[in-house]
Amino acid sequence: MTHKVILDTDPGIDDAMAIAYAIAHPDIELLALTTIFGNVRTHEATRNALALLEHWDSDADVAEGESAPVSMPANEPSYLVHGRNGLGGVDIPASSRSKHALGAVDYIIEATKRHPGEIVLCAIGPLTNLARLLERDPEVVSRLKAVVVMGGAVHRKGNVTPVAEANFWNDPHAADAVLGASWPLVLAPLDCTMPVVFTPDFMQALADENPKLGKPLATMARFYSRFYRSHQGLGGCVPHDVMALTWLTVPGAFRLQKGALGVVTEGPAIGQTLFQPGGTQSRARCFDGRADHLVMVDTDAQMFMADYMMVMTRHAG
């Protein structure tokens, strides 16, 4: 079964890991990367998206997205985590290609009209493009096959504040709107990403088996791992964004819960994910009228890592 995918992304080292997986997987047809701020600024995300696609021989489109959050000033990019160029200082040559004439929101609208019911929108950065998409074309919820979001922290603590995950923290108003929409949505929060650590040995094996894809990722991972070692004591790095794609290809690797979701949009808990499990009740009015969505709350790390290595090295040359 082939999945037509638009990847909404702010590349980003773990974004690059996801982009490489999307290119390599035989069951993913990568239609486009739509870019957003977060790990880097939007124009830098567009530059990185174009460069990575050309370096890895993909002809997917790149459509540039929003440059600021829906209702607040933009936070500083995550250069500390991902490096000043977003790719851990790895020099990927600039692409000779140009971004698409349509912006991200218009691109998604047009693509879903050409392929109604066929496209999966995987969002692995702040959700500003998706919130603007809902504003501009509310009917898009019926034309998408699925929406998979990497973001939030349901039962775990946050990674930029004690309660907030980075993507939701960077535009909490957009995240709240996206989680409240009635489209077929699956959430991949820190609950399912943090159990997986790509060790230096794992990344070196990837580089040895497939130099084209693996070598630049292994070099990026060394930069990324320094952050995880110094801030969380991990012996490697966490490939958060890949989860949004492996939900499509290896759903059995994840444990799921179902429930209504929201995001705190002000105060010291801004960006916190709110979750009311299906079948339960509370007096919190923030969940009124919200559909239940699937949440990936844990991961079989060995299954996930075996799949990633297999996919990334199956056509090594």
- Helix (H) / strand (E) element for 28: namely strand 28-35
Please state, in angstroms and rounded to a whole number, the distance separating the CA atoms of residues 148 and 171. 17
Rg (CA), the chain: 18
Would you state the structure tokens that stand for residue 102, as one six-digit string? 């349509």
Q: Which amino acid is at 284?
A: A
Q: Is 173 a catalytic residue?
A: no
- Which residue is associated with the tokens 């070196």? 204
Q: Which amino acid is at 131?
A: A
Which strands form 185-188's sheet, in the order they lie side by side? Answer: 61-63, 28-35, 3-9, 119-123, 144-150, 185-188, 293-299, 254-263, 273-277
SS3 call for 93: coil
164 has which bridge partners?
272
- Which residue is associated with the tokens 């990633």? 308
Catalytic residue among 25, 82, 173, 240: 240
DSSP 238: -
Q: Are strands 119-123 and 144-150 parallel, antiparallel or unpaired?
A: parallel
Catalytic residue among 10, 15, 61, 307: 10
Phi/psi of residue 5, nearest 5 degrees: -125, 135
Q: Is 155 a catalytic residue?
A: no
Active site residue ranges: 10, 240
